[in-house]
Structure 1
Amino acid sequence: MSGQGSDLILERMMTLHPKVIDLTLDRMWRLLGALDNPERRLPPVIHIAGTNGKGSTQAMIRAGLEGAGKRVHAYTSPHLARFHERVRLAGELISEAALTDALDRCYAANGGVEITYFEITTCAALLAFAETPADYTLLEVGLGGRLDATNVVDAPVATVITPVSMDHEAFLGDTIEAIAGEKAGIIKPGVPCVVSRQDERAMAVIERVAARAGAPLLVQGEDWHVSEEHGRLVYQDERGLLDLPLPALRGRHQHDNAGAALTVLRSLGVDEAGCAAAMRDVTWPARMQRLATGPLVEAAGERELWLDGGHNPAAGIALGALLASLPARPTVLIAGMMNTKDCSGFLAPLADHALRLIAVPIPGEDNGLDPEVLASRARAAGLDADTAPTTEAALASAGDAERIVICGSLYLAGSVLKTNG
């Protein structure tokens, strides 16, 4: 394998994937052992789980730590345009040489045994993190928490659970309580856990798991509070009050994510300047991002062009609330979704904020929802809807829209970012 590029190694890794995904950590422990257990040699870890807001919260924590002069490793998924986006080494996207080396070593150590793509690439990230000096490591859960491939660190310095809602039911359970139980699996004995605003059923589960582990909880609305006042973000906990810029990421839901990030930063001793940097300097693509340049922006002409990767009912509510907060303009949605998602639940909160929806396929995704099916479900949700063969064709048929929002899938968002350069 030596000398081959990361794309080819990643393609080879896909051939190792089990026929049926069974959530277990056995494959992780086997490969990590063969790699001399890099998970035991990481800089202090902050582990983040939840249904919505994981990536945004991690991005704000990272911006705050870097604003305080710290070097930070970060692991997230999925990527949008290139796999390298998943792994940040000491503040920089992993280089092709470093990624290829880590993947090559993991592939060799695995010895051709079945292992999921996410598991073996997570091992590669942990290997790179263990061998690169930094002050902190941020790990975002891929799926669930209890049996997620990232849940191999015995003693993180903090854990975070962002809002829990229905998603990935086939793997995590079909009730909010079952899903919360999986997310709460990242809670570790004696390690403080920051908890965002939750459904009361999810909160009861999280409290029960934390009590068994002896893990202190820092809960939104009890231990910390966040609100917008006069165009500023006001955060308060037992240490006092912070008056900060609003987060650079748009949407009221980002205020809660900001509060969780600030709670972590305060627990690590980050000062007010670092907390301000967390709000001011954060970037996180495809989270209600307004595209400013590129071929698709040119194709949109004078119309606003926005991109959002949210794909479940909670994300639909957040997107609908954001659209309601923007100046009223005729809005058209261009949407593509995976066939595993609750598209009706995602679309229902958007019906009052758009003239119509144009359903498109997700390029290169075998599990993308047929645009005709998506359009039918959009109509059932109260939207006028039709289809187009590509995003570019949808832009051309958006008619009198003054605002166009491309939404419904991170995979569609990644395709858009690639097309737009």
Structure 2
Amino acid sequence: MWDTLLDRFLTGMMVEDRLSLTYPDGTTRDYGPDTGGSAHLAIADTATLRALIVNPDLGLGEGYMNGTITPRNCTLDDALTIIVRNRFKGHIPSWVVMANRVRFHMRRFIQNNAPAAARKNVAHHYDISDDLYRLFLDEDMQYSCAYFRDDAMTLEDAQVAKKAHIAGKLRLEPGMRVLDIGCGWGGMALTLAGDHGCHVTGITLSENQLATARRRAETAGLSNQIEFRLEDYRHTTGTFDRIVSVGMLEHVGVPNFDTYFGRVAELLDQDGVALIHTIGRSAPPMAHSSWINKYIFPGGYVPSLSELAPAMERSGLWQTDIEVWRLHYAKTIRHWRERFEAHLDEIAQTYDDRFVRMFRYYLTVCILAFEHQMQAVYHLQLAHRRDAVPLIRDYLYGAESPDSTAARSRITEDA
């Protein structure tokens, strides 16, 4: 029964490329025209067939993790590219469409992300081990999209360029009070304090990241300019000249968008500027990946701009600039995956094969989301005053600032 249902599923879905599938009984069937790309997957057991029918997204990811779905004579990248490319162009069975609709309408419950749940969700991913992240991130441990001014840039240079671009949008001056919501391992705070003379308060829900950020600030001699706290943005008090938040809005959830932008408005000085860097969809909202929610980012969600705009509008803040980065994150994650694969021997000393396959699958599906789906990175510049920043964008694209040049030099010297 399950092989018949999957056969019907793939017959309707594959319209541009050729996917060959070897079933548990050893038979191989081809789906789609032999005019585009091609890939071959083998399925080891009936339980995996059933999982692919019940929830294709979850079943495919778990099958690869468990070793019951394996690429043959192709890479995981090849196979997933073909699946992603045909997913929205062919016919999807009605039961899959209905299940996706149910998950979409359940997102307000799934993404409630109350403070206790938010802290638990963050720990699930970010408190694995700093040692793992050091193996594939840049030296500053920037776990967010880099900014590739040209294709020849190294990951380190592109992350420096990202921080410089954000600093430019913040219009920083020495002595300014900056709030960093979701400060990660402290790289942005260290840059804003060290290169721009700001006083930074960084908040995170990850105990691992907090400990590392504090050590880094002490080592850099910046403890008098930076305070890192284990704190939920909903509990932060005071006012700040500038607010920056990089890669954190994806963890907020639909039910909390009003609260999030409302808190940014409350915490931002009347003459202040905020810069929110977030993954987003340049298309109508859809259900988030059930596999990503289960294994990588519980409670996470990639919002469409149409979901963010009402909350921004209700906050009373001006949208002084909205910039869209296309393909920059795909380039970033390809660097991460290359470094992850290069360190497999070290990773295998701590993690089993299933974890390695899980993480490889995670990096690969994220790359393809930015290369083949309507996914991008948004820069939302917000302010109380319409003239808080210059009225034209020229101030962002002048000669490279001395600060960003100095930051790159320091990274090169440290290496």
Q: TM-score, normalised by structure 1?
A: 0.28
Higher normalized helix content (fraction of residues): 2
Higher gyration radius (CA) = 2
When normalised by structure 2's length, the TM-score is 0.28
